[in-house]
Amino acid sequence: MADYAAEGKSLARIDGKVIFMENAIPGDIVDVKLTRNKKDWGEGFVTTYHEYSSDRVKPFCSHFGVCGGCQWQMLPYEKQLFYKQKQVEDNLSRIGKVLLPPILPIIGGSVDRYYRNKMEYTFSNKRFLLQQELRDPTISSRQNSAGFHAKGIFDKVVNIDTCYLQAEPTNQLRKAVEKWGNENDVSFYDIQMHEGFLRTMQIRICITGEIMVNIVFGYEDEEKIKSLADYLLSSFPTITTLLYTINTKKNDSMYDLLPRVFYGKGFVIEKLSAEPGEDFYFKIGPKSFFQTNTKQAERLYNVTKEFAGLTNTETLYDLYCGTGSIGIFLSPRAKKIIGVDVISEAIEDAKENAMLNKIEHANFVAGDVVDVCDDAFFSQYGKPDVIITDPPRAGMHEKLVRKILEMEAEKIIYVSCNPATQARDLNLLDEKYMVEKIQPVDMFPHTHHIENVAKLVRR
């Protein structure tokens, strides 16, 4: 293996042809079976390891390579950061094709375990069996399990013993619900037949100490729901909010469902610290979006604040603002904050978060930026001096890029979770803007995901 490519795949070059594969790292010597074979490239999987790379380390999780998460545990964390930095550099230069400054060294996580504030577990009546479990007569694929979907398999769940992504009581809670379900002869969900009672569970653990649990059931059964809820509250007195949701749909999406409060206030409060003595609090409900790594979110937002260079005189537009976290984080140094997001529920959360932090110079508007930001909008709120854009993985629609070019703000701070689409957008913005600073930030250790912040200034 010679290098890493996008999405965590390794690549090798053979007679000018590029071969992509999973489960290998640079330095491995392997045999590969091709599943796709084109003229200039191929894709496949490793069949035999002849020699392991000297960089390999033993994964600390017993479920590594099976559950689909933490794809890079076999790499030392410093090597993960090296390849993530390289991924940003390669994407911006190869796809962006714009003049770039030296890219700042990646900001790694202060911890590489227990960093997630939110987890979602699945309950299933079909268990994914490991090779060694196939010969164990006490374990069956028709056994109830609680954990994560097996990698590449939609209808079977890996029965998780210990997950290292979220602090306790996350594993204890999952095992308690699984135990209650088995002891009370409750049906676990069958994703093929679309039937069963126990379906999924979301757990959010905040650095404020608040814990929110939302259990999703396949159908209504008041007696069973109360029995489980009472059991959890008596077993886990640290739970501050317990909700349940009935989902009779064929998919697990939450956006059109109504979580019901069984205990507590129905939400949790999370805290982000900008600097000593400057804390911001955020109300997070069961359907709210919030950065899943709280401590790295502080680092990411501090980079954004530094790049924005606000002097209390600027009108700041926060595009794709979600629940308002970036705009609120930067609000003490802005004259005015204007947040825009197409999801109306997120905008309502943003308004509540502004009130929670006693911020009176922020306005949050629901709608598509392309449609909302017209002359009447600018007349009401003023044109932006600084634009912050934090789009989803697909990046910005070309119409939005054109709209941003029309706005002619002095600075754009582009926060991206996908350097490839960010590079494409930087190429389009190059018409009026030059890239002045680039800072990668690792939000998800042991995965191939990477955040990147770019500062653009008007030519």
Within-domain flag for 442:
yes
Given this model, what pLDDT does residue 454 score? 98
Residues 99 and 155 in one domain: no
pLDDT category of residue 199 using cuts at 50, 70 and 90: very high
Tell me the per-residue pLDDT of 223-243, one tens digit each, with 9 for 90 and over.
999 999 999 999 999 999 999
State both tokens at 271.
């805290």
Given this model, what pLDDT does residue 2 score? 66
Residue for token digits 């900001």?
107
Given this model, what pLDDT does residue 440 score? 98
Given this model, what pLDDT does residue 130 score? 79
Given this model, what pLDDT does residue 450 score? 95
Per-residue exposure over 82-118, b if at least 16 CB sit within 10 Å of its own CB, e if not: ebbbebbbbbbeebbebebeebeebbbbeebbebbbb
417 is catalytic: yes
Q: Name which of 118, 217, 208 is nearest 163 in CA terms.
A: 118
Question: Domain residues for 447?
Answer: 89-111+293-458
Q: Is the dihedral of CA 248, 251, 252, 253 positive or negative?
A: negative
> What does the angle CA 417 – CA 418 – CA 419 come to, to the nearest 5 degrees?
120
Residues 312 and 224 in one domain: no
**Which CATH number covers residue 32?**
2.40.50.140
Could you give the percent of the chain with pLDDT greater than 90?
Answer: 81
**Which CATH number covers residue 440?**
3.40.50.150
Mean pLDDT of 208-215: 98
Length of the chain: 459
Residue 452 has pLDDT above 90, yes or no: yes
State both tokens at 406.
């029309």
Within-domain flag for 70:
no
Mean pLDDT of the chain: 94
Tell me the per-residue pLDDT of 331-348, one tens digit each, with 9 for 90 and over.
999 999 999 999 888 999
Residues 359 and 427 in one domain: yes
Tell me the sheet residues that pair with 451: 441
Residue 135 has pLDDT above 90, yes or no: no
Residues 329 and 301 in one domain: yes
Tell me the per-residue pLDDT of 355-386, one tens digit each, with 9 for 90 and over.
999 999 999 999 988 888 888 898 899 999 99
Given this model, what pLDDT does residue 374 score? 85
Given the residues 67, 163, 206, 417, the one annotated as active site: 417
Residues 93 and 126 in one domain: no
Residues 26 and 164 in one domain: no
Determine contact, residues 295/271, Cβ cutoff 8 Å: no
Within-domain flag for 287:
no
State both tokens at 325.
């976290």
Residues 243 and 299 in one domain: no
Mean pLDDT of 203-219: 98
Residue 395 backbone class (left: φ over 0; alpha: ψ -120 to 50; beta: rest): left
Given this model, what pLDDT does residue 375 score? 85
Given this model, what pLDDT does residue 48 score? 93
Within-domain flag for 226:
yes
> What does the angle CA 447 – CA 452 – CA 456 come to, to the nearest 5 degrees?
170
Residue 17 has pLDDT above 90, yes or no: no
- CA dist list (Å): 175 to 144, 160, 240, 243: 12, 9, 19, 18
Given this model, what pLDDT does residue 362 score? 97
Domain count, the chain: 3
Determine contact, residues 232/177, Cβ cutoff 8 Å: yes
Please give the single-letter amino acid code of residue 93.
S
SS3 7: helix
Given this model, what pLDDT does residue 11 score? 86
Please give the single-letter amino acid code of residue 271.
K
Tell me the per-residue pLDDT of 167-187, one tens digit each, with 9 for 90 and over.
999 999 999 999 999 999 999
Within-domain flag for 83:
no
Dihedral, CA atoms, 55, 57, 63, 67, nearest 10 degrees? -20
Residue for token digits 């933490």?
70
Q: Name which of 383, 444, 344, 401 is nearest 84 in CA terms.
A: 444
Residue 273 has pLDDT above 90, yes or no: yes
Within-domain flag for 95:
yes
Rg (CA), the chain: 24
Of residues 122 and 131, more confidence is placed in 122
- CA dist list (Å): 109 to 80, 168, 296: 11, 19, 6
Given this model, what pLDDT does residue 1 score? 57
Determine contact, residues 186/180, Cβ cutoff 8 Å: yes
Strands (E), 254-406: 260-263, 268-275, 278-284, 315-319, 336-341, 362-366, 386-389
Question: DSSP letters of 213-238?
Answer: EEEEESS--HHHHHHHHHHHHHH-TT
The helix/strand count (H/E) of the chain reads as 10, 21
Residues 128 and 215 in one domain: yes
Cα(336)–Cα(323) distance, integer angstroms: 17
Within-domain flag for 280:
no
Residues 102 and 131 in one domain: no
Tell me the per-residue pLDDT of 395-424, one tens digit each, with 9 for 90 and over.
999 999 999 999 999 999 999 999 999 999
Residues 230 and 375 in one domain: no
Q: Name which of 452, 415, 449, 455 is nearest 319 in CA terms.
A: 415
Given this model, what pLDDT does residue 141 score? 85
Residue for token digits 């209390």?
312
Residues 106 and 124 in one domain: no
Residues 94 and 124 in one domain: no
